[in-house]
Structure 1
Amino acid sequence: MTFQQLVTVPRHEHKETPMPHPNTPPATRKRLLVIEPMSSGLTLLGAARDLGLETVVFSHDAADRVVPEGARGEIDLFVAVNTNDPAALAEAAAEVHARTPLSGVVSGSEFYVDAAARLAHLLGLAGQPIETAEAVRDKTLMRAMLAKAGIRIPRYAEVLTAADLDDAAETVGFPCVLKPAAGSGSIQVSRVEDSGQLKSAYRTLADHADFVFDQPEDGRALVEQYLVGPEYSVEGYVHQGRVTIVSVTRKLLGAEPYFVELGHVVRADLAPDVRSAVEDYTSAVVTCLGIALGPFHAELRLTNEGPVLIEVGARLAGDRIAELITLATGVSLRHVMVASHVGLDPESAWPRALPAAEYAGVHFFTAPGLTTLNRIEGLDALERHPSVAEVRMYLGPGDSIPAARDLRCRLGHVIFTADSADQEAELRAWAAATARFA
């Protein structure tokens, strides 16, 4: 059945569209609800199908909350509903669950982790504790919980209005980082050197109209210590109270004052004692916040004092990191996430595969200085290379290129595998030079 584009409908009028497949499992199979699948969340749909589940998707299906056409063939039931309206979400979930019970609820993006937890609680399904879901979405709550437990965090101060900036700067000192309390993708995150830059950055944060998923910032922000040291992310999962670290990922960032992520490498080569410290610290963070099941994605910097948390999400990592982990370790965190939330054993439901290589990397294409993408060259050479696993463009000729302030400036990416750290670096440099934009 070809998917029919649905019009957005208000609360109490959400519209459901069944989307049968030739091999649709019978209704007695487990059913997974995914709220707004996007980015890495789209891969949850295929993972659910792999595990023999039916898939239900809730999406606003308008503006920047639209499920891509190519993913719609993996959906059994599509419900158009305002996913930013908690009451509408609860009503739609209750109706779907009453007809054919759901087995689990997951968020398909960072922005709906707390919504998924609330729906799971409402329906009596496994999920994150609501307090945990709120803390991983709100960096102020996250910092406060960790500080109370004595876990090392950056110095920080919460800002509610511009009147709080001077006191915050006095508490934290310069240079510092300003960020939204509940943002994502490094949007509106910047390093500032003095009071003038801090106030200017806050005006931009509080006044900007380019909101993600129609979720306007309320002006709440954090001013926090600028951490000196290389940046990493740590990916793993929780099952029956046990924290398993799967990967430590090296992150490649663009020029400050912004923090655009230009690439990732799995695995990060760390000395055994350093890796042990990173894993122990991350496990303490995950345990303190009460992440109860499924994958987590923690970002931190290695400072002179040891690892210090930037933030942690109770979700699948984005930026194709989950794919890199599968290539370099054989662990599929997307299958782990789906299995965990529907009551399956994540370690046996989808066993670990043989790694494709020792290392896997993603390089994001950018075009500094260009405001419009007119021409793309070199992608065919990338696609022919035996070490390249994926080439994808987000923008095409004629598209405007956003300023290099966050992830939206990226044009596309290439994923590749390597047998050594040196080969990974060589392939990254080659990929960057081969893809040309004008």
Structure 2
Amino acid sequence: MTMATSQDQPGRRSRPCPQGAPAAGGNEPAPTPGPAQKQTRLHLLALNPTDSVTHGFLPAAAALGLAVTLLTDQPDAHRSAYAKGASLPEADVVGCDVRDFREVISRIGRLGRPGAVFTNSDHLQVQAALAADYFGLPGKDWKAAHRAKDKAQLRRSLAAAGADTVRSAELGPCDDPAGPEILGLPFPCVLKPREGVASEDVVLVGDPGELAARCREIRARRPGAALVVEEYLDGPLHTLETLGDGHVLHTLGTFRTGLSPLPYFVEERLTLLPGPPRPHAADALRQLRALGVGFGACHTEYVAQGDRARIVEVNYRAIGDQCDLALADALGIPLFAHILRTHLGERLPGHLGGRADGRARVEYVCADRGGTLTRAPSASETERDGVRLVYRPLRGTGEAHPLHRTNRDYLGVIRATGTDEGRIGRAVEEFLAAQRWEITP
């Protein structure tokens, strides 16, 4: 499944393996440091708790023998999340205004020099990159992280590099949606926050009047937020999952994404494909290089149009919502450890050893109305006919929520892995048919 390109890649230069971390390419965890050996400390930046960190990066850090300091603006939420599972690895949770890179650098300086600075948050990539650079550690180019995060700058950067041009306009908090910036944009078009995530407030608008109305609604929810209006890219939606160390860039895999009905863009299903579609994957990689993306994990979404990959957005981190857990299972590689190794300064091997026949499907059970969840299955894990199926609830019974039209509507997630796509599909459908989710208005 994995592919690698060995030409010069953008990204920060790596450094020799730090004490206490294993050599690159090995799947065996590092031995636990003895009393005389000081552990390498990872400073991990986070906002709210996520499955990627809780069940991916923290266990990987423990397997690598790392001590972890988790810097977050929501320390109580993280302490509560980690207290729920006795088997979860330990982390020193420290309160910090992680959105401010100056506070991050100051807090790390007070805690002592780290061995690595890392985040898997969309919102904190620039801050982590600046902190890593300040302490002379491997990390992402902060300018590339900003190009990926700022959706208006992403469009400008791709166009300036001659990589791709998507007609778009940026609207500041006080800009008129009927102003000259919008002239020439085709309808329907997509309206979204400039620095949004998870399809929140992303909507297809059909005419100038609808654009103005949607702008008012989003601005009421997001005072002061800048928006982007861009042409609608119609076609099959795919992801491209990559991992690089600044020298080699691996293509881990590609998911085909199933979306909710328009005008919203909620991801409802992701299916791992047998291999990256050609020539689209190569075209997407070319555009990532133009952005300077090539260090650590990156999750890119693109629409296939003819022979072209039209990038929708670039998330300079690992894919989330448990797709990263499914990808690691399907490939049979220590994905989270590999990602952390790049931030420890290790070179990635030329081949990650992932199995080529691994398949995966991730299905989200979505609320179709607002109300209180009164019935839902509990967490489960089964293995039958070569399919491992894991179900995890994402909302507890008794919780009341409005309908968001984003991944906040997820009630639970099913991830199924194996080698036979047909069996995987049947296992998911049978599980869905046997369970019930009820919402009381």
TM-score strictly above 0.5: yes
CA distance in 2, matches of 1:164, 1:347: 51
Aligned to 2:5: none
Q: Partner letter of residue 415 of structure 2?
A: I
Q: CA deviation at 1:78?
A: 2.4
Aligned to 1:54: 67
8 A contact 2:373–2:396 mirrored in 1: yes
Equivalent of residue 302 in structure 2, options 300, 303, 306: 300
Q: CA deviation at 1:128?
A: 1.0
* Helix, strand or coil at the partner of 2:138: coil
Equivalent of residue 255 in structure 1, options 256, 261, 274: 261
Mean CA deviation greater in 177-186 or 56-65: 56-65
Equivalent of residue 245 in structure 1, options 241, 245, 251: 251
| 1:186-244 C-alpha deviation (Å, 9 max, x unpaired) | 111111111122112111221205xxxxxxx6321110111110101000111243322
CA distance 1:95–1:204, change in 2 (3 Å): same
CA distance in 2, matches of 1:107, 1:34: 6
8 A contact 2:79–2:93 mirrored in 1: no
Q: Partner letter of residue 108 of structure 1?
A: N
| 1:245-294 C-alpha deviation (Å, 9 max, x unpaired) | 11011111111111111121112567xxxx22122112112211112421
Aligned to 2:42: 32
Aligned to 1:330: 332
Mean CA deviation greater in 242-251 or 71-80: 71-80
CA distance in 2, matches of 1:379, 1:29: 35
Q: Identity over the aligned pairs, expressed in percent?
A: 24
- Mapping for residues 207-226 of structure 1, pairs under 5 Å: 207-208=220-221, 218-226=224-232
- 2:99 paired with 1:84: yes
CA distance 1:280–1:25, change in 2 (3 Å): farther
| 1:362-419 C-alpha deviation (Å, 9 max, x unpaired) | 1111232352111124866x74756243211011221113315100000011111243
Q: Partner letter of residue 189 of structure 1?
A: V
Equivalent of residue 181 in structure 1, options 194, 197, 200: 194
Equivalent pairs, count? 400
* Helix, strand or coil at the partner of 2:254: strand
Aligned to 1:393: 393
* Helix, strand or coil at the partner of 1:229: coil
| 1:114-170 C-alpha deviation (Å, 9 max, x unpaired) | 110111011111111121121111111111111111112421111114544223442
Q: Partner letter of residue 162 of structure 2?
A: G
8 A contact 2:119–2:125 mirrored in 1: yes
CA distance 1:309–1:25, change in 2 (3 Å): farther
CA distance in 2, matches of 1:358, 1:299: 21
- Mapping for residues 166-177 of structure 1, pairs under 5 Å: 166=178, 167-177=180-190
Equivalent of residue 111 in structure 2, options 96, 111, 122: 96
8 A contact 2:266–2:407 mirrored in 1: yes
- Mapping for residues 227-238 of structure 1, pairs under 5 Å: 227-238=233-244
8 A contact 1:60–1:66 mirrored in 2: no
TM-score by length of 1: 0.83
CA distance 1:377–1:105, change in 2 (3 Å): closer
Aligned to 2:287: 285
| 1:315-356 C-alpha deviation (Å, 9 max, x unpaired) | 1111222222222222333122100001123338x964657x
- 2:165 paired with 1:159: no
CA distance in 1, matches of 2:247, 2:373: 48
* Helix, strand or coil at the partner of 1:344: coil
* Helix, strand or coil at the partner of 2:177: helix
Higher percent of residues as helix: 1
Q: CA deviation at 1:427?
A: 3.0
CA distance in 2, matches of 1:114, 1:391: 33
- 2:217 paired with 1:204: yes
Which consecutive residues of structure 1, in runs of 5 or more, have no partner in the other structure? 1-22, 210-216
8 A contact 1:153–1:309 mirrored in 2: no
RMSD: 2.7
* Helix, strand or coil at the partner of 2:373: coil
Q: Partner letter of residue 422 of structure 1?
A: G
